[in-house]
Amino acid sequence: MLNQLNLNNYGLTEENLSHFDERTLIVKKWNWDYQTALSFQKACVGLFQEGGNQRVLIVCNHPNLFTNGRGLQKAKKGQTLDLVDFDPAMANLLPYPVHQITRGGGLTFHHPGQYIFYPIVKLNPKTLSLSKMIDDIFDSARLTLESWGVENLSSENELLGLWRGKNKVASMGIAIEKLTTFHGMALNMYKNDEIKNAMRSLNPCGLNPETYISVEELRPLDSNALEDFHTEFIKRLQHAW
């Protein structure tokens, strides 16, 4: 599927690739430079315009940084969302770079302790809507964490995300180009004090920074948690889409 791309241009080798099944390629790279990973996503989206039913599931994390999307979640009729937008003038005052991107949502954060999932998948108005894709991703993450003993997780909230009560464990921001998705979910697996300190003057996704919590704060994690979560999470998605 990716034989038209020079993997070296994206900091990848064949060791970063694995086939889940005949139509699913998994690309996994930890601590991936953000702009390089984004360029790879866009290159995959371009290949998908040629048709076919293949999918590329990207698993990664990034060094400390922020990304700012197209805008905060809009309130539906009858809703009132008390969200605070990001002031671009703040970007030069932050200790980590801010990348302006085209996914949905406002400001969010990334760091090496996250599990990030970028699905490059062609939507189909009859068989796979964006809402179904998002639900499947959150359900797979929730069920995996529940199998680890993390209870009371839900994506049934007026604000998009995976929540435990009033605390947000994972964020979601998707972009679509010619029915093909990119960007995706960031699950806060390990806590990161540096990012937490940098967020004190910010409102990620328009929210109080204290809203965000990590899996590590809900249950002890060993050093292999990202790999272990990945194995279970991907298996739960094997029959989706």
- Bridge partners for 238 per DSSP: none
Rounded to two decimals, the pTM is 0.96
204 closest CA partner among 88, 81, 66: 66
pLDDT, tens digit (0-9, with 9 covering 90-100), for 73-130:
887 766 778 899 999 889 999 999 999 999 999 999 999 999 999 999 999 888 899 9
Structure tokens at 226: 């990202």
Q: Pick 7-236's CATH classification: 3.50.50.60, 2.40.50.140, 3.40.50.150, 3.30.930.10.
A: 3.30.930.10
Query: What φ, ψ does residue 170 adopt, rounded to 5°?
Result: -140, 145
Average pLDDT score over residue span 10-21: 94
For the chain, give every domain's residue range: 7-236
Structure tokens at 231: 């194995």
